[in-house]
Amino acid sequence: MAVSYFTVEGLNKLKEELHDLRTKGRADIARQIAEAREKGDLSENAEYDAAKDAQGHLEHKIAKLEELIANARIVDENMIDTSKVSILSKIKIKNLASNTTLNYMLVSEEEANIKEGKISVKSPIGQGLLGKKVGETAEIVVPAGKIKLQVLEINR
Domain regions of the chain by residue span: 4-74, 77-155
Q: Are 74 and 11 in contact (CB under 8 A)?
A: yes
Q: Which CATH number fits domain 4-74: 1.10.287.180, 3.40.50.300, 3.30.450.40, 1.20.1250.20?
A: 1.10.287.180
Q: Are 79 and 86 in contact (CB under 8 A)?
A: no
Assess whether pLDDT exceeds 70 at residue 1. no
Residue 135 DSSP label: T
Stretch among 72-81, 102-111, 118-127, 130-139 having the lowest mean pLDDT: 72-81
Residues β-bridged to residue 39: none
Q: Are 119 and 104 in contact (CB under 8 A)?
A: yes
Give me the CATH topology for the region 77-155: Chitinase A; domain 3 (3.10.50)
Cβ of 126: how many Cβ atoms within 10 Å? 22
Mean pLDDT score, 51-68: 94
The pTM assigned to this predicted structure is: 0.70
**Cα distance between residue 150 and residue 136, in whole Å:** 6
**Cα distance between residue 92 and residue 77, in whole Å:** 17
Residue 25 DSSP label: I
- Are 4-74 and 77-155 equal in CATH topology? no
Assess whether pLDDT exceeds 90 at residue 3. no
Mean pLDDT score, 105-128: 91
The backbone torsions φ and ψ at residue 155, rounded to the nearest 5 degrees and listed phi first, read: -135, 175
Write down the pLDDT at residue 9.
85
**Cα distance between residue 116 and residue 105, in whole Å:** 9
Assess whether pLDDT exceeds 70 at residue 45. yes
